[in-house]
């Protein structure tokens, strides 16, 4: 087990628990695996979490050479969770908490062990992603696509709560996957990628303006991305 402080939580709904590991420093020589903050311009380096069919939660650390360390048990009871997203609440470059949607409910899990029910009605969405800061404040924000293909933006607070949703646009049901959490173009703004039904990959470059967070899409991959079942 890696050294460092971890945060455990058990949320308001019975039967789920998890342990969040502290941020993992970008590996470099004999440097410690954990750091309290990121240097300006550093890309975030976060653990990889996964749930299996039994609902057990597992965590992998990065080994600094393009691989992962052996998995470690991090919790149980997550077999009914539909979406789980790491989130940076304080703009230090590390995702120290998470959102999770189980059934119809959105929960925020914080680094200090608190779990909070944010709201109900989330079963209307078939794709939900944490996409970094789109609104100018510190916390990561969230995009959610409903079953009619409308994309909505939820601006977040540092306690995991979110503002009422803002409509981004319609027609997003042409995409089978939305992914992205960070700057893909080097301008300091958060971008996303989207894969359409033909397997073509598109880049949506971030604007830094929450009222119109993305520019028109630019194709960055030819058809063939349907090789992949999921993008993240």
Residue 10 domain-assigned (yes or no): yes
For residues 216 and 208, the model is more confident at 216
Residue 3 domain-assigned (yes or no): yes
Total number of domains constituting the chain: 1
Residues 119-148: tens digit of each pLDDT? 999 999 999 998 888 877 778 899 999 999
Residue 70 domain-assigned (yes or no): yes
Q: What is the C-alpha end-to-end distance of the chain, expressed in Å?
A: 26
Nearest to 134 by CA among 63, 230, 215: 215
pLDDT given at position 197 = 93
pTM score, whole prediction: 0.75
Q: Report the mean per-residue pLDDT for the chain.
A: 79
The mean per-residue pLDDT over the stretch 174-199 comes to 88
Residue 47 domain-assigned (yes or no): yes
Residue 132 domain-assigned (yes or no): no
Specify the length of the chain in residues: 232
User: Is the per-residue pLDDT at 216 higher than 60?
Assistant: yes
Residues 68-112: tens digit of each pLDDT? 788 888 888 888 888 888 888 877 777 778 888 998 999 988 766
Residue 15 domain-assigned (yes or no): yes
pLDDT given at position 166 = 94
Q: Tell me which residue range forms the domain holding 37.
A: 1-116
The mean per-residue pLDDT over the stretch 181-194 comes to 84
Matching residue, tokens 């750091």: 35
Residue 56 domain-assigned (yes or no): yes
User: Is the per-residue pLDDT at 51 higher than 90?
Assistant: no
For residues 101 and 17, the model is more confident at 101
For residues 20 and 188, the model is more confident at 188
Long-range pairs for 20-28: beta carbons < 8 A, 24 or more residues apart:
20/74, 20/96, 20/97, 20/98, 20/109, 20/111, 21/47, 21/59, 21/61, 21/74, 22/96, 23/92, 23/93, 23/94, 23/95, 23/96, 24/61, 24/62, 26/64, 27/62, 27/63, 27/64, 27/65, 28/64
Residue 46 domain-assigned (yes or no): yes
The strand order across the sheet containing 115-120 reads 81-87, 97-102, 105-109, 115-120
């Amino acid at each position: 087990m890696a050294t460092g402080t971890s945060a455990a939580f058990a949320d308001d709904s019975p039967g789920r628990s998890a342990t969040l590991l502290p941020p993992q420093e970008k590996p470099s020589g004999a440097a410690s695996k954990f750091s309290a903050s990121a240097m300006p311009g550093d890309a975030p380096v976060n653990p990889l979490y996964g749930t299996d069919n039994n609902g057990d939660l597992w965590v992998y650390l990065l080994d600094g050479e393009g691989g992962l360390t052996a998995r470690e048990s991090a919790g149980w009871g997550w077999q009914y969770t539909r979406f789980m997203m790491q989130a940076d609440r304080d703009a230090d470059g590390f995702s120290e908490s998470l959102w999770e949607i189980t059934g119809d409910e959105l929960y925020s899990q914080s680094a200090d062990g608190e779990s909070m029910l944010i709201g109900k009605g989330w079963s209307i969405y078939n794709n939900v992603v944490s996409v970094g800061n789109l609104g100018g404040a510190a916390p990561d924000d969230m995009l959610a696509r409903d079953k009619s293909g409308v994309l909505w933006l939820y601006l977040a607070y540092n306690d995991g709560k979110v503002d009422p949703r803002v409509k981004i646009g319609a027609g997003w049901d042409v995409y089978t996957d939305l992914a992205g959490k960070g700057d893909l173009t080097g301008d300091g703004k958060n971008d996303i990628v989207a894969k359409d039904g033909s397997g073509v990959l598109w880049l949506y470059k971030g604007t830094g303006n929450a009222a119109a967070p993305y520019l028109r899409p630019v194709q960055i991959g030819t058809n063939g991305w349907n090789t992949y079942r999921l993008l993240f």
